[in-house]
């Protein structure tokens, strides 16, 4: 059986920026929450102005990027890092602003994954977002009745307990701000 994916798109409320970031001028230090992206999901290059920093150390809770080209960061208390999917502004180590362009938001929305689909042997459906996301997820049966609802609180992954759902076709609606993603989910336990 094949699953069909349908996307609706306006704008996403996603957080891809690490909540904490410091610099000594020649290195960038970013600290992630436990539900943050894995090392494989983090960029290998971060730009600050025209200076390029490459990933040198990656652990679950932090990542260190070293300067590979350009000038060291002059103001260590304030910098704007470009992660390739948007920019993250840090003041005294704290994330103070993040910005996604329309094209970058589209990239985050399109990278949302639902698996396994179809669900055949377990009771867990996993959602993986292209970045940190805050919003809601709702599952509807084929008649349009809402059968499940949960909050997505600034995470890059979310697990849905589908043990109470019977075999059938469902629509999973993920809402973040004014953005909506709808995916067909099939349960065949």
For the chain, what are the domain ranges?
Answer: 20-103, 112-187
User: What tokens were used for 178?
Assistant: 């004014």
- Of 36-40, 169-173, 178-182, where does the model show the most confidence? 169-173
Residue 186: which pLDDT band, with cuts at 50, 70 and 90? very high
User: What tokens were used for 130?
Assistant: 């292209």
Distance CA(99)–CA(80), nearest Å, equals 10
- The pTM assigned to this predicted structure is 0.52
| Mean pLDDT score of the chain | 84
User: What tokens were used for 180?
Assistant: 């909506």
CATH number of 112-187: 2.60.40.1930
Distance CA(137)–CA(146), nearest Å, equals 11
pLDDT in tens, 104-162: 655 665 678 999 999 999 999 999 877 777 788 999 999 999 999 999 887 778 999 99
pLDDT in tens, 86-109: 788 899 998 887 766 555 655 665
Given a contact cutoff of 8 angstroms between Cβ atoms, the answer to whether 47 and 53 are in contact is: yes
Q: Helix, strand, or coil here: 156?
A: strand
The confidence score (pLDDT) of residue 7 equals 32
Output 108 or 24, whichever has higher pLDDT: 24
The confidence score (pLDDT) of residue 105 equals 56
User: What tokens were used for 57?
Assistant: 């150390």
């Amino acid at each position: 059986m094949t699953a069909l994916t349908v996307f609706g798109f306006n704008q996403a409320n996603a957080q891809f920026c690490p909540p904490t970031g410091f610099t000594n001028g020649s290195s960038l230090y970013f600290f992630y929450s436990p539900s943050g992206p894995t090392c494989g999901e983090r960029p290998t290059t971060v730009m600050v102005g025209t200076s390029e920093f490459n990933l040198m150390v990656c652990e679950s809770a932090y990542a260190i990027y070293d300067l590979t080209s350009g000038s060291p960061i002059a103001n260590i208390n304030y910098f704007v890092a470009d992660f390739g999917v948007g920019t993250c502004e840090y003041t005294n180590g704290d994330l103070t602003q993040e910005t996604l362009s329309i094209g970058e938001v589209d990239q985050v929305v399109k990278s949302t994954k639902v698996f396994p689909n179809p669900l055949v042997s377990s009771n867990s459906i996993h959602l993986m977002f292209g970045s940190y996301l805050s919003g809601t997820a709702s599952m509807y049966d084929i008649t349009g009745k809402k059968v499940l609802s949960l909050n997505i609180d600034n995470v890059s992954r979310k697990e849905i307990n589908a043990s109470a759902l019977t075999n059938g076709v469902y629509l999973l609606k993920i809402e973040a701000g004014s953005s909506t993603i709808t995916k067909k989910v099939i349960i065949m336990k």
